[in-house]
């Protein structure tokens, strides 16, 4: 895939989405959100797929922090016995 240039059109900054992205759901009229990543990359997610994306992110966060979350759950259970 070739790179595309970010350009100015009126008061907006625009990026032309290559036609081959249509097979991934990026068609005219699709509403998207831009998600900046820590790596400096920007993820473009159609809003109708945002729930799926957020569930994937949540699953990774839970997996990465499972020990801490289990300790918090234990603390909550101990506090509810009062």
Is residue 22 one of the residues assigned to a domain?
A: yes
**Number of domains forming the structure of the chain:** 1
Considering only 13-17, 30-34, 53-57, which range has the smallest mean pLDDT?
A: 53-57
Question: What is the span of the domain harbouring residue 54?
Answer: 7-79
Annotate 51-64 with b (16+ C-beta within 10 A) or e (fewer): eeeeeeeeeeeeee
Is residue 45 one of the residues assigned to a domain?
A: yes
Q: Rounded to two decimals, what is the model's pTM? A: 0.52
Is residue 75 one of the residues assigned to a domain?
A: yes
Is residue 41 one of the residues assigned to a domain?
A: yes
User: Whole-angstrom distance between the N-terminal and C-terminal Cα of the chain?
Assistant: 61
Is residue 2 one of the residues assigned to a domain?
A: no
- Whether residue 47 contacts residue 32, with contact meaning beta carbons closer than 8 Å, is answered with yes
Is residue 16 one of the residues assigned to a domain?
A: yes
User: 10 pLDDT exceeds 90?
Assistant: yes
* 16 CB-near residues (< 8 Å, 6+ apart): 4
Band the pLDDT of 81: cuts 50, 70, 90: low
Is residue 1 one of the residues assigned to a domain?
A: no
């Amino acid at each position: 895939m070739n790179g595309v240039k970010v350009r100015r059109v009126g008061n907006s900054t625009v990026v032309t989405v290559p036609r081959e992205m249509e097979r991934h759901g990026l068609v005219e009229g699709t509403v998207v959100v831009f998600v900046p990543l820590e790596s400096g990359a920007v993820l473009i997610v159609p809003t109708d797929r945002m729930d799926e994306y957020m569930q994937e992110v949540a699953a990774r966060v839970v997996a990465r922090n499972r020990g801490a979350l289990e300790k918090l759950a234990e603390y909550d259970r101990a506090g509810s016995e009062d």
